Amino acid sequence: MTAAMPAHGVHAPRFTPVQAWIPRDPAAQDHGWPDRWPLRTQLELAALVTAPGCARAHVSAVLREWHADPGLTDTAALIVTEMMTNAVLSTHAHGYPDPVRMWMLSDRGSVLFLTWDATMPAPVLASAAPADEHGRGLALIDALCESWGFYHPAEQPGGKVVWALVKPEAPDPSRFLA
């Protein structure tokens, strides 16, 4: 016996996802700052090696939807890939089963990216030797962003949030990929 199909015109119940709360910076004087960005999206992923690629695809698609400049989209995709890679690697290094999270906020010009992972060690900007497989991510973020930083939220879930602000006049990422 098969289940009856709903009659034409009958709609499925509406689902309105609740946006995950951005963990606040305890040093911020104004804790309402995320609410002033009119455009926003979020993504929660398992801390797997596929997470950076999923985040990059999400950012590229959303920025196209927001009619962002294609140059900004390329820069943003590279930055988010590096940020999520660092979050996944840190989560794995500490043996945590927690997911990684990303928020993207925009005022139709600038874009603010925030990534969260459950670990506490601060990101360290270091120089990598040509033969090194890792260690260039933060240097790329530093070169491509207006500014970046991190904080440890005081409330649950703890961990750390790394943020990066990208403005439309950001450098062309292709100069770093040659």
The pLDDT score that the predictor gives to residue 35 is 86
pLDDT at 43: 96
Q: Which residues of 52-61 are buried (b: 16+ CB within 10 A; e: fewer)?
A: beebbebbbe
Q: How far apart are the C-alpha atoms of 20 and 165, rounded to whole Å?
A: 20
Tokens standing for 144? 């491509």
pTM exceeds 0.95, yes or no: no
pLDDT at 17: 55
In angstroms, the CA 94 to CA 118 distance is 9
pLDDT number for residue 66: 95
Q: Which residues contact 161 (CB under 8 A, 6 or more apart)?
A: 22, 23, 25, 114, 115, 116, 150, 151, 152, 153
* SS percent in the chain: helix, strand, coil, step 5: 30, 20, 50
For residue 62, the model assigns a pLDDT of 97
* DSSP structure string for 150-169: EE--SSTT-SEEEEEEE-TT
What pLDDT shows up at residue 33? 86
pLDDT at 145: 94
The rounded distance, in Å, linking the Cα atoms of 78 and 98 is 23
Tell me the CATH class for 35-177: alpha beta
Tens-place pLDDT, residues 101-134: 999 999 998 999 999 999 999 998 887 777 767 7
* Per-residue model confidence as pLDDT tens for the chain (178 residues): 555 555 555 555 555 555 568 888 989 888 888 888 999 999 999 999 999 999 999 999 999 999 998 889 999 999 999 999 999 999 999 999 999 999 999 999 899 999 999 999 999 888 777 776 777 889 889 999 999 999 999 887 789 999 999 998 755 556 555 5
